[in-house]
Amino acid sequence: MLTLPQLIEEDVAQLQRLLRELRGQSDATAALLIDKGGFLLAQHGETAQFDPTTIAALSSGAYLANQCIANLVQEKNFDSVYQQGEKFSLLITNVDEHCLLVIIFQAHLSVGAVKFFAAQARTQVAAQMQVARARNPDAGLDLSVLNLENPSVVFRKKG
């Protein structure tokens, strides 16, 4: 099953811009766009002190565990996960059927403000993903089957 639309250079630039704006508005440390399989699609911010690839994988797992809990309590609207720490906090929020937005921010910041700006960003990210999907509705990617030794199927030079 194809999960993600094929993203071209313009899509990635737009997604990067949206993550940059989210960081600026919310004062977040970093913003990541991941697919629900845990693959990092785009990132912006100060990630030198974090491993964004591992955070993406674990955030996906945390979100999916949250969805299982929601099902157990007959709740259909658990669309985000919030982890509060002493130094940093993390908000994982659903973008669409395939993507999640992960925001890492200093713990002293208001989670309400971060949620507010995240809601705006996820709407814009979802719209960009729809633009990419509409460009070629029958094409897409399932990153879980990607051969990491030979990613040439996905990554090609622009012709």
Q: Which CATH superfamily is domain 9-141 in?
A: Dynein light chain 2a, cytoplasmic (3.30.450.30)
This prediction has a pTM of 0.83
Kindly state the DSSP code that residue 102 receives in the 8-state scheme.
E
For range 12-19, the mean pLDDT: 95
Residues 28-57 pLDDT 10s = 999 999 999 899 999 999 988 889 999 999
Paired tokens of 102: 């992960």
> 55-82: string of b/e by CB count within 10 Å (b at 16+)?
bbbebbebbeebbeeeeeeeeeeebbbe
> What is the tens place of the pLDDT at every residue in 102-158?
999 999 999 999 999 999 999 999 999 999 888 876 665 555 544 445 555 555 555
The token pair that represents 89 in the structure block = 């906090």
Contact (Cβ atoms closer than 8 angstroms) between residue 38 and residue 62:
no
State pLDDT tens for residues 129-144: 999 888 876 665 555 5
CA atoms of 67 and 81, how far apart (whole Å): 10
